[in-house]
């Protein structure tokens, strides 16, 4: 993010720099890595407001705002913004994936699957494509498709081995299938990456 911050120092009006910062920040917030969620969200709002005032049809600005609303659990607003982003740029894999995620969060895993699959097709080499595989695995898990869920969650774990949640959901899917030893191994790996998830009470803080 330092490169975008430096670019903004050089050109305080740079739309690209503002969008770059906002996109990185919503990802940090969404991954639970922000040390000041309210402050970071406020900055994202300010940056997006400045961008959209100058360029109301910038697809990425709508996608970032949709991601921000998702982080805030304002799911209908998130879906509306992401739909606007996709209408402006149907090849934006990140917007398509995030829209699929909002469908998951609204309790519609079956509807989410085509969007998650499309996001992978659009950008199979994206550095965070593992998250799309992880979401796809969760969707199949929620639908009771255990074998498909395990396959996608294993791919997610391979793509992003340090993402603790992929290990956790894979452990759940393996447990449902009866592969207890492997499930225990995934739980152990998850706890190494994020020790606080050994307590629901601590996790919720």
Tell me the per-residue pLDDT of 91-147, one tens digit each, with 9 for 90 and over.
Answer: 999 999 999 999 999 999 999 999 999 999 999 998 889 999 999 999 999 999 999
Alpha-carbon distance of 107 to 101, in angstroms, equals 10
Collapsed DSSP state (helix, strand, coil) of residue 13: coil
All structural domains of the chain with their residue ranges: 1-95, 127-205
Tokens of 87: 């209408």
Residues 6+ apart with CB under 8 A from 22: 43, 44, 47, 48, 51, 61, 64, 68
What letters, b where the CB count within 10 A reaches 16 and e where it falls short, cover 46-84? ebbebbbeeeeebbbbbbbbbbbbbbeeebebbbbbbeb
The 10 Å Cβ neighbour count of residue 164 is 19
Structure tokens at 172: 């759940």
Rounded to whole angstroms, the Cα distance separating 135 from 120 reads 11
Decide if 1-95 and 127-205 have a common fold. Answer: yes
In CATH terms, 1-95 corresponds, of 3.40.1390.30, 2.60.120.10, 1.25.40.10, 2.60.40.10, to 1.25.40.10
Q: Quick one: which of 150, 79, 72, 74 has its CA closest to 115?
A: 79
pLDDT of residue 199: 58
Tokens linked to 139:
């969707």
Question: Are the C-beta atoms of residues 61 and 55 closer than 8 Å to each other?
Answer: yes
- pLDDT category of residue 90 using cuts at 50, 70 and 90: very high
The CATH H-level superfamily of 127-205 is Tetratricopeptide repeat domain (1.25.40.10)
Judged against a pLDDT cut of 90, whether residue 168 lies above it is answered with yes
Indicate the pLDDT class of residue 166, thresholds 50, 70 and 90: very high
- 43 neighbors 29 (Cβ within 8 angstroms): no
3-state secondary structure of 1: coil
Condensed to tens digits (0 to 9), the pLDDT of residues 53-85 reads 999 999 999 999 999 999 999 999 999 999 999
């Amino acid at each position: 993010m330092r490169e975008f911050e430096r670019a903004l120092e050089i050109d305080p009006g740079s739309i690209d720099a503002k969008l770059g910062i906002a996109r990185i920040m919503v990802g940090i917030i969404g991954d639970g890595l922000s040390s000041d969620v309210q402050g970071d969200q406020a900055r994202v709002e300010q940056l997006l407001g400045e961008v959209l005032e100058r360029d109301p049809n910038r697809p990425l600005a709508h996608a970032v705002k949709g991601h921000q609303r998702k982080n805030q659990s304002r799911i209908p607003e998130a879906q509306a913004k992401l739909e606007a982003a996709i209408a402006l740029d149907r090849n934006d894999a990140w917007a398509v994936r995030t829209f699929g995620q909002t469908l998951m969060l609204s309790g519609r895993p079956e509807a989410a699957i085509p969007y998650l699959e499309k996001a992978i097709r659009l950008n199979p080499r994206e550095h965070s494509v593992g998250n799309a595989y992880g979401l796809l695995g969760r969707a199949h898990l929620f639908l009771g498709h255990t074998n498909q869920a395990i396959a996608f969650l294993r791919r997610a774990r391979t793509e992003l081995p340090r993402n603790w949640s992929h290990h956790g959901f894979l452990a759940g899917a393996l447990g449902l299938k009866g592969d207890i030893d492997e499930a225990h191994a995934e739980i152990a790996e998850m706890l190494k990456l994020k020790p606080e998830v050994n307590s629901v009470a601590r996790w919720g803080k």
